[in-house]
Amino acid sequence: MKRILNIETTKYVGKKMKVCGWVQTIRSHGKIIFIDLRDRSGILQLVFTPKDEKLYEVAQKLRPEWVVGVEGKIKERPKAMVNPKIKTGNVELEPEKLEIFSKAKTLPFSIETPGYEINEEKRLKYRYLDLRRERLKKNLMVRQKVIQFIREFLIKEGFVEIETPILTKSTPEGARDFLVPARLQPGKFYALPQSPQQYKQLLMVAGLERYFQIARCFRDEDARADRQAEFTQLDIEMSFVEQDDILNLIEKIYIELVKKIFPEKKITKIPFPTISYKEAMAKYKNDRPDLRKNKNDSNELAFCFIVDFPMFEWSKTEKRWDAVHHPFTRPQTDNINEIKKNPEKILAHQYDFVLNGEELGGGSLRSFKPEILEAVFEVMGHKKSEAKKKFQHLFSAFEYGVPPHAGIALGLDRFLAVILNEQSIREVIAFPKTGDNRDLMMDVPAEVTKEQLKELHIKIVKSVNKQ
């Protein structure tokens, strides 16, 4: 018999059907046993009675989290026994056949609560059990809905979803890279992408004009409540556009996304406020102001854009000018002398997107004129040849007809955490890592065999103990 979902049973009252799932709770009253059967659609009550003695004997042995399949008649519950708390509360199933697919040990923690009270270390170690809880399942399903909406929206707008490489090149600027040794090129390494930045710009040179990707990004830095070593961003790049085209697109996506998937949420201000960096720093003392009117209202969403960031900032550690965003951000002036002479005064065509005081991400109009790029690299203290070597592919590509282009990258995990009122992005990621980037469930990073290392031409040198 073909299995139906628990939620579908209400449509088949009086019929004999098969359902499958996990035993959630057992309420035994001696001569009648109620079992809440959980599947991906929800809970269904099974009622065992000793009418069938053999079946009843087996039912008495059932324990929480065993996986079973049952066939039996779906009955409408008597009025007094309807449970309004569950979606299938007006029906129940009287099993005639019971199959035990697998038994289960007692779980290390309860999965029937939201789970915040449970030691997160345990939750991460047994993530496959943690994900059985309703809250996390819901978070993952909301995540899927958001991604689906964004895909459909952008494809309708003429965007092409393109996968860029995960094995790519280490970039000297920015965060630490995760490195992957290349077996066929002894001594050489791939790096995992910190973002698809350069690929998406190259796609503009390729003439795709409108690119997007739900992109996994990797940064080998210490994690936080809002940071993971690997995270997902909505990555967008467009050709022949100005700043407003990007901001208007983002505004439209998020307004319609909220309207469709989170109708209970209210957006504080439409159109989203656009605040200059200077004004934000003066007025709110930071560049990601929380513009909510009532910070206790979990349904309020205050989006805003921060624009006109400075192009350069003085790096105290390296004692040189550094790009606030990255060197391919387009300065707001074409005056090369001005860029070189007064870098601190130069503003950039750069924008950030902020929600309830959380930075969701940012982007920029890209710099594509060689003389401007050279001036920027010069301010940053790079020799012309060095800069060209580091970003050779971009410089070369730009020699073959490059359209003016711009883009943005927005953190999906952060957006979901905010909109689902979660304190940490770990709550919206299926298999997150700890603060020091370990996966407690898989127990990685882990050592590898000598043979593997040999094949990769890698030797582990134990560092000498510090004094």
Partner RNA sequence: GCGGGCGUAGCUUAGCCCGGUUAAAAGCGCCGCCCUGUCACGGCGGAGAACGUGGGUUCAAAUCCCAUCGCCCGCGCCA
Residues near RNA (CB under 7 A) are 25, 27-32, 34, 36, 45, 47, 49-50, 63-64, 77-78, 80-83, 85-86, 89, 92, 106, 108-110, 117-122, 124, 171, 173-176, 194-195, 197, 219, 221-227, 317, 322-326, 423-424, 426, 434-436, 438, 440
Number of H helices, E strands in the chain: 13, 19
Record the tokens describing residue 271, joined without a space.
């159109």
Nearest CB to RNA, comparing residues 210 and 433: 433
Nearest CB to RNA, comparing residues 8 and 226: 226
Q: In the complex, what is the shortest distance from the CB of residue 112 to RNA, in angstroms, rounded to a whole number? A: 7
Residue pair 66/23 in contact (Cβ under 8 Å)? The answer is yes
Residue pair 191/169 in contact (Cβ under 8 Å)? The answer is yes
User: What residues does 23 pair with on adjacent strands?
Assistant: 37
Q: In the complex, what is the shortest distance from the CB of residue 401 to RNA, in angstroms, rounded to a whole number? A: 23
Q: How far from 451 is each of 317, 455, 457, CA to CA, in Å?
A: 40, 6, 10
Nearest CB to RNA, comparing residues 326 and 330: 326
Q: In the complex, what is the shortest distance from the CB of residue 156 to RNA, in angstroms, rounded to a whole number? A: 27
Residue pair 275/289 in contact (Cβ under 8 Å)? The answer is yes
How far is 57 from 365, CA to CA, in rounded Å?
71
Nearest CB to RNA, comparing residues 253 and 362: 362
% helix, strand, coil for the chain, step of 5 = 30, 30, 40
Nearest CB to RNA, comparing residues 45 and 139: 45
Assign 322 to helix, strand or coil.
Answer: strand
Nearest CB to RNA, comparing residues 93 and 257: 93
Q: In the complex, what is the shortest distance from the CB of residue 411 to RNA, in angstroms, rounded to a whole number? A: 11
Q: In the complex, what is the shortest distance from the CB of residue 77 to RNA, in angstroms, rounded to a whole number? A: 5
Q: Which residue has the tokens 């924008």?
A: 351
Record the tokens describing residue 144, joined without a space.
């899927």
Nearest CB to RNA, comparing residues 131 and 261: 131
Nearest CB to RNA, comparing residues 27 and 269: 27
Q: In the complex, what is the shortest distance from the CB of residue 352 to RNA, in angstroms, rounded to a whole number? A: 12
Nearest CB to RNA, comparing residues 78 and 401: 78
**Considering only CA atoms, which of 192, 261, 220, 288 is closest in space to residue 419?**
261
358 membership: H or E segment, kind and range: strand 358-365
Q: In the complex, what is the shortest distance from the CB of residue 28 to RNA, in angstroms, rounded to a whole number? A: 4
Residue pair 165/193 in contact (Cβ under 8 Å)? The answer is yes
Q: In the complex, what is the shortest distance from the CB of residue 327 to RNA, in angstroms, rounded to a whole number? A: 7
Q: In the complex, what is the shortest distance from the CB of residue 36 to RNA, in angstroms, rounded to a whole number? A: 6
φ/ψ (deg, to 5) at 293: -80, -40
Nearest CB to RNA, comparing residues 2 and 85: 85
Nearest CB to RNA, comparing residues 261 and 374: 374
**Considering only CA atoms, which of 69, 129, 121 is closest in space to residue 104?**
129
Buried b (16+ CB within 10 A) or exposed e, 154-179: beeeebeebebeeebeebeeeeebbe
Residue pair 362/409 in contact (Cβ under 8 Å)? The answer is yes
199 membership: H or E segment, kind and range: helix 197-205
How far is 92 from 78, CA to CA, in rounded Å?
10
Record the tokens describing residue 417, joined without a space.
């955490």
Q: In the complex, what is the shortest distance from the CB of residue 118 to RNA, in angstroms, rounded to a whole number? A: 4
Q: In the complex, what is the shortest distance from the CB of residue 325 to RNA, in angstroms, rounded to a whole number? A: 5
For the chain, the residue count is 467
Residue pair 48/95 in contact (Cβ under 8 Å)? The answer is yes
